Structure 1
Amino acid sequence: MTETSRPGRHQGRRVVVTGAAGGIGAATARCFANEGATVLAVDIADSAALLDDISASGGTALALEADLSSTEAAQAVVDEAVGKLGGIDVLVHNAGAALPGRVEELSLEDLDAMWSLNVRAGLLLAQHVIAPMRAGGGGSILYTGAAAALHGQPMLAGYGASKAALHNVVASMALEYARDEIRVNAVAPGPTRTGMTARARQVFGGQGGDPMALLPLAHIIEPEEIAEGFSYLASSAARSITGHVLAIDCGITAGRFVPPPPR
């Protein structure tokens, strides 16, 4: 259990977390399970270790292997959740792709991978989850955004553009479904201790120095901190918050400039 987890905060809720096998997704699944929710952990990878961890902590979780880059996967995920959990109260779409590189170096495959997972999958999941949430009297749709979508950053134009589009989805959907009591928000992480960030640090660190030292709060963010942000936004304490992107980023979007890599 994380230091800030609140047992019972999400008691009885049915939660779907995508990209749940590791990193932010695994921390989020554990957080909701520790707080009383039943979790459907969705990932293209095996989530057995996560389920064992949640079970050992007294939580309840199921797993579904799904490739969310497929257009059919979103319907399958929602059908599985409704069939096994009886409905969906919270959707956390965390699955995504980050492929850093200069614009001239980005391949069409890289761009398609980022847009299909970061944006299209998020929209398709929302299309299918709205009806069961509406039938249940409302719900919370949450996305993993990115601090890189809130300010310019070298080597991340493709990734940042896809996450900026996702931030717009949050704002637009929040207005569309507010009267259905469906709230839509996002958490925008800064550099977090995940495999994705480790790969990015190799790109930036190879240009000289540790990129973490450029952050106002010069430390890496733990996945559990992002999970707590999702838990808060899905909770009754945030019942008046919708259309919001919560930056958990060590102050990077406050205006600190990250210098570009040398040519």
Structure 2
Amino acid sequence: MGTRLKDKIAIITGSSSGIGRASAEVFAEEGAHVIVNDDGGREGLGQQIADGIIANGGSASYFKANVFKSEDLKQLIEHAYTTYGRLDILMNNAYKGHTASVHEQEEEDWDQVFASSVKAVFLGSKYALPGMIQAGGGSIINTASVHGLLGGRRHSSYDAAKAAIINLTRQMALDYGKYGIRVNSICPGRIVTEGKIDFLEKYPEEVRRQKAVYPLGRPGTMREAGLAALFLASDDASFVTGHALVVDGGLTAQLADSVSESLEEGLGILKS
């Protein structure tokens, strides 16, 4: 076990799977007590993740809260303060929704994407910040995406929401830096989460495409995204705030014609 987050109290929303789960595991490995969260939709899963962290020598608990509900988020934050006396790290990570091109995007889906990400970042931070101000510091990490930096086909609501998160992150960094509170975001590229494993097995051509497009020759792992969040949560990033940390294997470092060339060359090599 490490000590980079020794005795810190951390909440990670949407942490029963994906990047949130990996972040919870690495935070706990570095000494934090992690409050695992989900909406309870997959009964018992959140508690199972917390139990797994404990079994591996870490410290964790589970708190059910739906980020779509303001009162749930308020209770989640209050739980940290009433149970542990403080909240050192808040990672706004939860996301839910269906995205599409604008003319095909349903209004309710658009609203769901923004409610689960942008509004939840606003509300979670709103409830956490007074305690962090009183304590004289804290770290807030918001899960954005490379889709917040560049546009992607058929991703209207997702792209717009992730871009909003990045700029909200910058704005909060300006307002709360004087209180010792750092606010940053992570911008992952393609990360192989639990839900994508079956997809990639079903569509091997997508694996070949990603090998060709990503300069590192592969998509990222959940743990790699979690380690990026760990850096921002820790004192290693003590002079980093308002930053959008890109974790994408070099995907966004390329000009469009370079991507096209890499794709054609890579697929040609793989097919031969």
Fold-level similarity (TM above 0.5): yes
Larger Rg: 2
Q: TM-score, normalised by structure 1?
A: 0.89
> What is the rounded CA distance, in whole Å, between the counterparts of 1:101 and 1:14 in structure 2?
37
1:182/1:200 CA distance change after superposition, 3 Å: farther
1:249 corresponding residue in structure 2: 248
Which structure has greater helix proportion? 2
2:18 corresponding residue in structure 1: 23
Q: TM-score, normalised by structure 2?
A: 0.86
1:62 corresponding residue in structure 2: 61
Range moving further from structure 2, 188-197 or 128-137: 188-197
Q: How far did residue 43 of structure 1 move?
A: 0.7
3-state SS, counterpart of residue 242 of structure 1: coil
2:37 corresponding residue in structure 1: 42
Match status 1:113 vs 2:112: yes
3-state SS, counterpart of residue 72 of structure 1: helix
> What is the rounded CA distance, in whole Å, between the counterparts of 1:163 and 1:246 in structure 2?
13
2:137 corresponding residue in structure 1: 138
Q: How far did residue 135 of structure 1 move?
A: 1.6
> What is the rounded CA distance, in whole Å, between the counterparts of 1:172 and 1:200 in structure 2?
37
Q: Is contact 2:51-2:60 (8 Å) kept?
A: no
Which of 2, 26, 33 is the equivalent residue of 1:7?
2
Q: Is contact 2:99-2:110 (8 Å) kept?
A: no
Structure 1, residues 52-102: CA drift from partner, whole Å, max 9, x if none? 211111111110111101122221111111112211000011101252422
1:24/1:254 CA distance change after superposition, 3 Å: same
> What is the rounded CA distance, in whole Å, between the counterparts of 1:188 and 1:225 in structure 2?
12
3-state SS, counterpart of residue 94 of structure 2: coil
> What is the rounded CA distance, in whole Å, between the counterparts of 2:77 and 2:115 in structure 1?
18
> What is the rounded CA distance, in whole Å, between the counterparts of 2:99 and 2:200 in structure 1?
10
Amino acid at match of 1:27: A
3-state SS, counterpart of residue 16 of structure 1: strand
1:226 corresponding residue in structure 2: 225
> What is the rounded CA distance, in whole Å, between the counterparts of 1:113 and 1:67 in structure 2?
12
> What is the rounded CA distance, in whole Å, between the counterparts of 2:23 and 2:97 in structure 1?
19
3-state SS, counterpart of residue 240 of structure 1: coil
Listed as ranges, the gaps of 5+ residues in structure 2 are 261-272
Superposed CA RMSD in Å reads 2.3
> What is the rounded CA distance, in whole Å, between the counterparts of 1:22 and 1:151 in structure 2?
25
1:3 corresponding residue in structure 2: none
> What is the rounded CA distance, in whole Å, between the counterparts of 1:186 and 1:29 in structure 2?
16
1:98/1:17 CA distance change after superposition, 3 Å: same
> What is the rounded CA distance, in whole Å, between the counterparts of 1:118 and 1:195 in structure 2?
20
